[in-house]
Amino acid sequence: MRYIFKFPDIGEGISEGKILQWYVKKGQAIKSGESLVKMETDKVVTDIPSPRAGTITNIFGKEGEVIKVDDPLVELEIEGISGAEAQAIAAERPKPLEAKPIDEKGFGVVGTLEVAGDSAFLPAGTEGLPPPEAAEAPGEEKPLKKALATPVARAMAKELGVDINQVPGTGPAGRVMKADIQRFYEKKQAGEIKPLTAPAPEPAEPRVVYEPLSQMRKAIARNMLRSKQSAAHMTAIEEVEVSELVKLRETHKQAYADRGVKLSYLPFIFKAVVAGLKEFPLLNAEMDLENDRMILKNYYHIGVAVDTKEGLVVPVIRDVDKLSIFQLSQKIVETAERARERKLTLEDFKDGTFSVTNYGSIGGTYGVPVINYPQAAILGVGRIMKTPVVKDDQVVVGYVLPLSMSVDHRIVDGAQAARFMVKVTGFLKDPASLLLI
């Protein structure tokens, strides 16, 4: 019995993916659990395994093509399946699959999927399925107008030196037929068809370059638009004098380096943020309008924005309140490295309650960060600047850290946002006070 295996729903709102690499070909026998194809989604690169043993009879889609969830991937010939079983399988909806990391040469660790059941199959012969050869090759340039024609007509046009894209088609849906080619050729020979003016030579350097959107960039665009359309953004900006924090880090960074960990300012900022969230829980909440309620979260999973060459991602550091500065330092560095190497899994993005974006690490000072919806707030961290400050009525050299926090004004009032910032900046100004909470 033959079955169509469709691109399954792998959860986290993922609706499409790009085919990066096929591991199988027509006629190949495959075992249950063996990888069929490597897919790139907007969050992870993941392998899709075969849920059944069988023989590949058709492959749908080419490398570089973007397909939707529930689009067909492969057709399998499977022994020992009755018609009744096929109908039962076909009636089921594909179940979400769980992602976990695996090692893969040449691409680092990627997410693989464990099939929850056989429900991703549909019987062969389903109407409306695209033929395997229908997809365009990745990177293939499409002309502005491409004639619809049979292979025989194309061969005839090539033999007679006719540009088939100029020939009016009389077949179904405007398809160019052999008779159309013959008529066009005869008119051209009789001088009734004037040759097209030769196009002007292209400049050595094109005026524009077209680059396809990556899955990650499309996800960023969707998420930013959703955030701006769904949340009422308000941004509070503060400066905090952090000379004591700078001194504390300088004192201990070598000891951390000796233990293989880079000590940055982010662990202290995370700790200060969590202390503020515990006092002002609405900043660790989200609004549930469908049920007319606020969801206040008693856990502290902080998202950290990471700049990668593919785009911005916001993986989550879990249970920040339970981690030491040393453990936080390890987690932040490890998470950022895995993000840049495309080794994150879907689990790394789940259940964030608040986010921090550190544009200061690349030299930025102030920004207006966009909330990672449906969270209530995001803190932007600028670069620490050595500057004159006033202490005890004296102008001295100090270090100033600029902060920008955007909040969802539907959830958080301006006064509460200001009080939260006062709390956070107080801990950063006097980092030793973090030990007393």
* Residues noted as catalytic: 409
The secondary structure of 9-75 as a DSSP string is --STT--EEEEEEE---TT-EE-TT-EEEEEE-SS-EEEEEPSS-EEEEEE-S-TT-EEETT-EEEE
What's the rounded Cα separation, in Å, for the pair 357 and 76? 46
The secondary structure of 293-340 as a DSSP string is EEEE-SS--EEE-EEETTEEE--EE--GGGS-HHHHHHHHHHHHHHHH
What's the rounded Cα separation, in Å, for the pair 161 and 157? 6
Is 76 within 8 Å of 55 (Cβ atoms)?
yes
What's the rounded Cα separation, in Å, for the pair 408 and 374? 9
* Residue type for position 5: F
Is 62 within 8 Å of 14 (Cβ atoms)?
no
| Closest to 4 (Cα-Cα) out of 111, 64, 89, 85 | 89
Residue 431, Ramachandran bin (φ over 0: left; ψ between -120 and 50: alpha; else beta):
alpha
Q: Which two tokens stand for residue 158?
A: 């090539």
For 123, the enclosing helix (H) or strand (E) is strand 121-123
Length of the chain: 437
